[in-house]
Amino acid sequence: MRTLYLERLRLQASVGILEHELRSRQLLLVSIVAELPDAPPLPQADDVAHVLDYGLLRSISLEEVRRGHVNMLETLAGRIAQRVLALDGVQCVRVRVDKPNIFPDCDGVGIEVEQRRACVARSC
């Protein structure tokens, strides 16, 4: 089994429902955990062709933010999760999106979503 991580990618995004959020972009932190249960701990060869490139997780996040304004963090996290789950070998994905410094008395607020591939075998 292999687990791929992307931790706290810093993005400027148009997200939210408040007036000031509709006018300007704000900092988001995106984290992704992609589980590949059938991937061996040691790749077949020391070559990126034999692993899931973590740069792809970054690219998916950037592309989704660049699609345009979303009202809810849940929407953005869900879109990212669906795309990562569609990658070869990924059986489960967790996506966390944080808005830092929203309230003066906490580090931030956020959402985490988890999606799994539907089981097609009876052994699931």
CA distance 85 to 6: 14
Indicate which residue of 95, 99, 113, 115 is catalytic.
99
Say whether 99 is catalytic.
yes
Angle between helix 73-85 and 54-66 (nearest 10): 140
Contact 110, 73 (CB under 8 A): yes
Phi, psi (degrees; rounded to nearest 5) at 87: -75, 145
Please give the positions annotated as active site.
99
